[in-house]
Amino acid sequence: MQQRGVTLWFTGLSGAGKTTITRAVEAKLRAMGYGVEILDGDIVRENLTKGLGFSKEDRDENIRRIGFVSQLLTRHGVIVLVSAISPYRAVREEVRQKIGNFVEVFVNAPLAVCEERDVKGLYKRARAGEIANFTGISDPYEPPVNPEVECRTDLETLDESVAKVLAALEELGYLPSNAKATVA
């Protein structure tokens, strides 16, 4: 199967929906026969970037390492789904330039919605002052200026968000039709 590698970079606040959307996109792509890998920020911080904290310097280093692995996979034809808050615009642009085949997905829900969801209970702890440098509360988040895809997860269903991502991949030429024919 001829598959073009690409990195799909999901950025957004904690609780915006990055993990949920990447998992659903992964399932769809695998069912279509594509080779996919997920680099999830929470998991990567337990191995590849273990020991890094949440200062700007450490956050940027976290993103550079994820970007490095993503670049290797991408050039070998993998569809890489990166799910990481990645709050700083400049380092996102840096990895975009390095990787080349790069699709930025802004997973966007207002802070109030993310906080209300509080999937991992972290906002509550951040508000209580138990977690420092928490993105959106006590640390900045710089939204993408011109993302290829924006998923407004407070306004659309998960299925709609997933469909948007897949449509963008198709439009940008990353889903060759012969691959789909192979598994149809």
- Residue ranges in contact with ligand ADP by CB under 6 A: 12, 14-21, 83, 107, 117, 119, 153, 156-158, 161
8-state DSSP, 21 = H
| Residue of minimal Cβ distance to ligand ADP | 17
CB 84 within 8 A of CB 39: yes
Task: Give the HSE-up count for residue 155: Cα atoms under 13 Å, Cβ half-sphere.
Answer: 7
Residue 62: CB minimum distance to ligand ADP, A: 15
| Residue showing tokens 């890489």 | 80
Q: Mind giving me the DSSP string for 47-110?
A: TTTTT--SSHHHHHHHHHHHHHHHHHHHHTT-EEEEE-----HHHHHHHHHHHSSEEEEEEE--
Residue nearer to ligand ADP on the CB measure, 63 or 179: 63
Nearer to ligand ADP, 99 or 107 (CB): 107
CB of 184 to ligand ADP, least distance (A): 27
Give me the active site residues, please. 86
Cβ at position 57, least distance to ligand ADP in Å: 22
Which CB, 15 or 67, lies closer to ligand ADP?
A: 15
